[in-house]
Amino acid sequence: MGVGGIKLADYADPRAVSRGVGIAASAKSIAGRTVRRDEDVTVISARVASASGIADYFDASVMFGDYESRIVDYECTCPAIARFDGLCKHCVALVTSYFTQPCSFEEGAVRAAAPMARRTSEALGRLLAEGKGGAAGLAAPASRGAEGTALGVTPGSVRLDVQLVYDGRLWSLRLAVGGARGTYQVRDIEAFARHVQRGEFHAYGKKLAFAHRLEAFDEPSRAVARVVAGLFPDERLFGGSAFRTAGTGKREARVREAEVVALLDALGEGAFTFARRAGNAVAAAGVAPEPWRVA
């Protein structure tokens, strides 16, 4: 589902999207709606009703960049935000209500989330801070040309972890992407290839979001990213490649033996993991993939 040009599935688990949209359907579920804009950065905030009984409402805030074309940060006082990757259902409800009922949001100071054990991220915290200096200080690094700097990703710091899966007949590729603050499984390798080809900005969660330009990756990962981008050379395939995704889902991409060799060459002397597939299960339950190193 998409709202305002933003594809919610890129930022949240499908269950969080479904539940958040359900919350947004009731106008009474979202109170104290405010919006604050500063050049190309927008922050929305509200008190979103709790469905768990833990509290009556949770304070949620979401930051948009590039004139509300993407989500760059988010925060909520609910317990789920610290346990799971991506937007919680309260943030989804907030985003949905903003794009479906923008006039219901009042211009003014944004409500900061209540103190939590885990601090608000630096980018959102700085914009939520009162005073002209805090907002102005964020405006420049949040622009399209300095997305990595705004979210703490320095050139050459992003790492790609490669996992090769073999079922006795065919090879598949899985990826994890990591930075200084955390590592995330790539949920859609085809979309990852598109991000690299276009140098697009993509957020994996609160701990990692960056423009997928090659200079963002470390040296071995840069070479791997080139190979992965080459798996989908024609943009017309982005609706789904029958060979690449048949029987694997979006988290994996089928690779030919020559492409496996190219990936190993790209790694140089780096490490990767290897797993055997038994039926639809990767390796045995509870057993971690075997670590391998290219020699």
Higher pLDDT, residue 61 or 283: 61
Displacement of CA 57 from its chain's centroid (Å): 25
- pLDDT at 113 (0 to 100): 47
Q: What is the mean pLDDT of residues 258-277?
A: 87
Mean pLDDT across the chain: 77
Q: Please compute the mean of the pLDDT values over residues 154-166 and round it to a whole number.
A: 90
pLDDT in the model for residue 278: 67
Domain residue spans of the chain: 2-150, 159-293
Give me the sign of the Cα torsion angle 96, 99, 105, 111: positive
Establish how many alpha carbons lie within 13 A of residue 290's alpha carbon, considering only the half-sphere containing its beta carbon. 10
> How much is the pLDDT for 62?
93
Convert the pLDDT of each residue in 10-64 to its tens digit.
888 889 999 999 999 888 899 999 999 887 789 999 999 987 655 688 999 999 9
Least confident of 89-93, 104-108, 154-158, 233-237: 233-237
Average pLDDT over every residue of 92-98: 93
Please tell me the distance from the alpha carbon of residue 106 to that of residue 45, in angstroms, as a whole number.
10
pTM of the model: 0.49
